[in-house]
Amino acid sequence: MSEKKTFRITRFDPDRDEAPRTETYEIPVDPDWKVLDALNFIKDEIDGSLSHRWSCRMAVCGSCGMMVDGKPTLTCKKALSEYGSEISVEPLANFPVVRDLVVELDGFMEKFESVKPWIIRAKERAVEEGTHRQSQAELEEFKQFSMCINCMLCYSACPVVANEPEFIGPAAIALGHRYNLDSRDEGAHERNEIFRGEGSVFSCSYANECSEVCPKSVDPAAAVNQAKINAVIDWATGFVVTRGKE
Amino acid sequence: MKHLLLRLEPVIWLLFGGGIMVGTMLMTAWIAVVGLGAPMGLVPADALAFERAHALGSSLIGRIVLAALIALPLWKGAHHTRHVFIDMGGADRDALVAPVLYLLAIAGTVLAIAAVVRL
Ligand code: FES
């Protein structure tokens, strides 16, 4: 651990600080470290008051997202060697900060819930009727959009989220779209109405930033833009087809 | 107004999408042929002779294509300008700006249709 790197980390203690401040730490780093390893080193060895979220350390739980050198980054996935000798670490942009690098998730969770991310059936199937079967091809239809780990990097990168906080946003739209594409689901019309409502999918101006930063290659921008087309088709068919009770 | 804009969004977005398609695909070919190919002599001179072009443009399909070629990019322009405006921090005034832009697109569409009908 001969190499040293300097970390400029945003700190904020709501009980003491009026505004976020920056603290600098120079630490020895291991060539194999990820960004998260450096943060953990700082917390364990230098300053135990540093707050940041992490859990799985293998790009699965989605809790370690932060702005690293100004870019939304999954810190347990990104190698430290990809950065220079000075690295800035800030909390995810477009979210209220709770403390240091920890952001508030409530608004995001509400958006997630708003798209009804579960299988909706017009009529529940009785247990005796057996399970819903799905072919490999039907699974492939939506599989990519189900790989999201809710890391929120896309919300941090999205210029529309920054300007219009009510925008449902990339991950939640991708999730709703994932259920709309699921052969077992019958709730597409309900979700399309949500997609056309407040914070609509049409707010997206296709900057594609969400897909650029997505660590799981979900391609939320594709989902959002497919969702736009489906929301329009659903709206147009509403004039010709009378739908049953919703 | 905000509510009305939201309700009209599927139509607007459809016209906007049409505008992108027409603008990037047809318009590029159009400009390449009429704006570059013809003056550079790459297109035979009589291919775009007035009678020929007029006959093509005033057929039913010709009229539809011409109307779409003029009107749809106006919607694309209006919608894009609206979003640029929002992105530059004008979200608060969207309810004022958006109707003006879309009214311009509507006016252009009406004019385009009128011109194509009288061809
Ligand atoms: S710690 Fe779980 S995704 Fe990074």
Q: Which CATH number is A3-103 given?
A: 3.10.20.30
Within the 205-234 window of chain A, which residues sit less than 8 Å (CB to CB) from chain B? 205, 228, 231-232
Closest CA to A70 of A150, A157, A6: A157
User: What are the residue ranges spanned by the domains of chain A?
Assistant: 3-103, 106-245
Enter the pTM of the model: 0.87
CA of A40 to the centre of ligand 1 (A): 13
CB-nearest to B10 from A159, A164, A196 is A196
CATH for B29: 1.20.1300.10
Among left, alpha and beta (phi > 0; psi -120 to 50; other), residue A169 is: left
Give the Cα separation of A209 and A153 in Å (integer). 10
Interface of B with A in 50-89 (CB under 8 A): 83, 86-87, 89
Return the closest-CA partner of residue A153 out of A72, A34, A54, A97. A72
With an 8 Å Cβ cutoff, is B3 touching chain A? no
Q: Work out the mean pLDDT of chain A and round it to a whole number.
A: 95
pLDDT of A1 reads: 63
Mean pLDDT over B2-13 rounds to: 90
Which residues of A are less than 8 Å from B87 in CB distance? 159-160, 163, 205
Q: Which fold has domain A106-245?
A: Fumarate Reductase Iron-sulfur Protein; Chain B, domain 2 (1.10.1060)
**Amino acid letter at B65?**
V
Query: Mean pLDDT across the stretch A50-58?
Result: 97
pLDDT of residue A246: 46
Q: Which domain holds residue B26?
A: 2-117
- Mean pLDDT, residues B84-107 taken together: 91
**A17 band by pLDDT with thresholds 50, 70 and 90:** very high
Helix (H) or strand (E) holding A74: strand A71-74
Asked whether the domain spanning A106-245 has the same topology as the one spanning A3-103, the reply is no
Residue A148 φ/ψ region, left for φ over 0, alpha for ψ in the -120 to 50 degree band, beta for the rest: beta
Render pLDDT for A209-234 as a digit per residue (tens, 0 to 9).
999 999 999 999 999 999 999 999 99
Measure B105 CA to ligand 1 centroid, in angstroms. Answer: 48
Min CA distance, A81 vs chain B (Å)? 34
Q: Which helix (H) or strand (E) holds A98?
A: strand A97-99
Q: Give the model's confidence band at B92: pLDDT under 50 very low, under 70 low, under 90 confident, else very high.
A: confident
pLDDT of A45 higher than 90: yes
How many domains does the structure of chain B reveal?
1
Q: CA–CA separation, A221 vs A171, rounded Å?
A: 9
Q: Which amino acid is at A209?
A: E
Which helix (H) or strand (E) element contains residue A97?
strand A97-99
> How many CA atoms within 13 Å lie on the side-chain side of A199?
20
Tokens (6 digits) for B3: 């509510």
Strands in A65-68's sheet, in edge-to-edge order, are A21-28, A4-11, A86-90, A65-68, A71-74
